[in-house]
C-alpha cells in the first residue's frame, strides 16, 4: 500500500483533491453573508432602541457575522486552496452590498470597509494552513473566538459601565480583536491611526507562522497545501 500511495497517479489525485473547490464551505459562507444582508434589507431590529432605518446598520451587521463566523469556521472554510480563494473573493463583494444598503457612497471608506474583513480572512487562511491536526485546529478556533468575542465583550462593558459622560474611544482599542477594530473603522473612519494596528500585527504574525510551516514542510517533504 505504501508503494501505491507514492505512485505518480496517487500524487496527482492528492494534488487535485487539495486544489478542488469544496461546495459546503462556500455555500455556508455565502448563506451566512446573505442572512446578514437579508436581516438589514428586511429592517430586522436587534434591540429595543435599534437605529431607524435599520439598513443603516448593514455594515455593522455583516462585520459581526463575518468576524465571528470566520473565527468559528476557518478550519472548515479553508480546507483547500481553491476554496480559500473563492471564500476570500466573496467577502468584499458581500461587504460592498452591505455598503449599498447602508448608503455608503464615499469611495475610500467603502474600499477600506471591504479590505478589513478580507485581510482578517486571509490571516485565518494562513492559520488554517499552519495548524495541523484536529486538536490544534480546535485550539486555534478557541483562541480566535476568544479574541473576537471576548474583545467585543470587554469593549461593550467599558462602553456600558465606563466613566459617565465620556464617549467610547473606538480608535484606541487595538488589542480587543478584529470585531472591535471593524467597528472602529466604521465609527471613527479609516484614517484613525490605531484602527489597522491590531489587524496588522495579526497579519505579521500569520505570515511568520506561514513561512515557518512552509519551510518545515519543505524540509520534511510534507504537504504544503491547505488541507
pTM score:
0.85
* Overall size of the chain counted in residues: 227
In a domain, 225, yes or no: no
In a domain, 186, yes or no: yes
DSSP string, 180-216: HHHHHHHHH-TT-TTTTHHHHHHHHHHHHHHHHHHHH
Which candidate, 70, 62, 72, places its Cα nearest to that of 35?
A: 62
Task: Print the domain residue range for 51.
Answer: 2-220
**Do the beta carbons of residue 193 and residue 172 sit within 8 Å?**
no
**Do the beta carbons of residue 120 and residue 178 sit within 8 Å?**
yes
pLDDT at 1 over 50: no
Q: What is the pLDDT of residues 27-37, one digit of tens each?
A: 999 999 999 99
In a domain, 46, yes or no: yes
In a domain, 216, yes or no: yes
In a domain, 151, yes or no: yes
In a domain, 226, yes or no: no
What is the C-alpha to C-alpha distance for residues 44 and 217, in angstroms, rounded to an integer?
A: 48
What is the C-alpha to C-alpha distance for residues 44 and 54, in angstroms, rounded to an integer?
A: 7
In a domain, 177, yes or no: yes
Q: Which residues contact 150 (CB under 8 A, 6 or more apart)?
A: 177
In a domain, 148, yes or no: yes
Lowest mean pLDDT among 5-14, 79-88, 168-177: 5-14
Q: What is the pLDDT of residues 77-121, one digit of tens each?
A: 999 999 999 999 999 999 999 999 999 888 999 999 999 999 999
Cell of 1: 500500500
Place of cell 465606563: 162
Q: What is the pLDDT of residues 123-171, one digit of tens each?
A: 999 999 999 999 999 999 999 999 999 989 988 888 777 665 566 666 6
Q: Look at the chain and report how many structural domains it folds into.
A: 1
Q: Which residues contact 1 (CB under 8 A, 6 or more apart)?
A: none
Through-space distance between the first and last CA atoms of the chain, rounded to whole angstroms: 22
What is the C-alpha to C-alpha distance for residues 85 and 169, in angstroms, rounded to an integer?
A: 35
pLDDT confidence of residue 224: 44
Query: What is the SS3 assignment for 61?
Result: helix
What is the C-alpha to C-alpha distance for residues 141 and 75, in angstroms, rounded to an integer?
A: 8
Amino acid at each position: 500500500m505504501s508503494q501505491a500511495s507514492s505512485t505518480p497517479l496517487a500524487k496527482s489525485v492528492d494534488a487535485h483533491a487539495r486544489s478542488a473547490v469544496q461546495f459546503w464551505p462556500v455555500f455556508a459562507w455565502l448563506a451566512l453573508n446573505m442572512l446578514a444582508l437579508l436581516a438589514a434589507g428586511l429592517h430586522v431590529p436587534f434591540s429595543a432602541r435599534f437605529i431607524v432605518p435599520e439598513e443603516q446598520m448593514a455594515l455593522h451587521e455583516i462585520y459581526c457575522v463575518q468576524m465571528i463566523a470566520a473565527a468559528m469556521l476557518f478550519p472548515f472554510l479553508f480546507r483547500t486552496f481553491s476554496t480559500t480563494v473563492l471564500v476570500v473573493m466573496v467577502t468584499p463583494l458581500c461587504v460592498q452590498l452591505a455598503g449599498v444598503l447602508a448608503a455608503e457612497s464615499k469611495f475610500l471608506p467603502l474600499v477600506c470597509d471591504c479590505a478589513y474583513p478580507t485581510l482578517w480572512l486571509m490571516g485565518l487562511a494562513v492559520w488554517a494552513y499552519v495548524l495541523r491536526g484536529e486538536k490544534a485546529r480546535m485550539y486555534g478556533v478557541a483562541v480566535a473566538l476568544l479574541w473576537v468575542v471576548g474583545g467585543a465583550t470587554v469593549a461593550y462593558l467599558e462602553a456600558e459601565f465606563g466613566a459617565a459622560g465620556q464617549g467610547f474611544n473606538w480608535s484606541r482599542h487595538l488589542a480587543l480583536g478584529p470585531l472591535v477594530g471593524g467597528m472602529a473603522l466604521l465609527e471613527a473612519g479609516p484614517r484613525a491611526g490605531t484602527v489597522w494596528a491590531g489587524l496588522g500585527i495579526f497579519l505579521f504574525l500569520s505570515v511568520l507562522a506561514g513561512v515557518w510551516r512552509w519551510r518545515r514542510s519543505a524540509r520534511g517533504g510534507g504537504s504544503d497545501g491547505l488541507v
